[in-house]
Structure 1
């Protein structure tokens, strides 16, 4: 199933923000900054990417339910696997 690009705009923005945060983490490492600062920023990147992943899966599920065959058209095992891959 293809995702609606207009519904993915917030996700794309979140990933771009995470990309900037990750560049910041690299900069902190290259500058030899404090471990706590690096780990804090790295945790923020990780959380942003997790949220983006969950948003993608949730949007896909919603599209399946509203545009497909409803609940019967949802591959539950596949959706479960996607959610668990983010856990």
Structure 2
């Protein structure tokens, strides 16, 4: 998450610059250009956060799936009794969040 935090800090600085530009009465083209840069930085940070969340969900699902396969070959049930579908709502939620950023 370090790179995401750095990106958000940069966006924070850029936004402060946009506010300063507005207060100074700078021309609209310069303000909009900087505002677009802030928007893009925030979008990229959002995508990175959602992608990280999806990776964690997939890793969790993969781990649970491996545990279920081991249990099935040994003839025992998993600890929580839930199958790989238990992680699916988290993945679906992350996908939905990802799409809201587009």
TM interval, shorter chain, is 0.7 to 0.9
Superposition deviation, residue 80 in structure 1: 2.5
Structure 1: runs of 5+ lacking an equivalent: 1-7
Please identify runs of 4+ aligned residues in structure 1 that moved more than 6 A: none
Structure exhibiting the larger radius of gyration computed from Cα positions: 2
Q: Distance in 1 between matches of 2:5 and 2:23?
A: 27
Aligned-residue CA RMSD in angstroms?
Answer: 1.5
**2:54 and 2:95 in contact (8 A); partners too:** no
Structure 2: runs of 5+ lacking an equivalent: 66-83
Identify which of 12, 19, 22 aligns with 1:29: 22
**1:61 and 1:74 in contact (8 A); partners too:** no
Q: Normalising to structure 2: TM-score of the pair?
A: 0.71
- Structure with the higher fraction of residues in helix conformation: 2
Q: Normalising to structure 1: TM-score of the pair?
A: 0.83
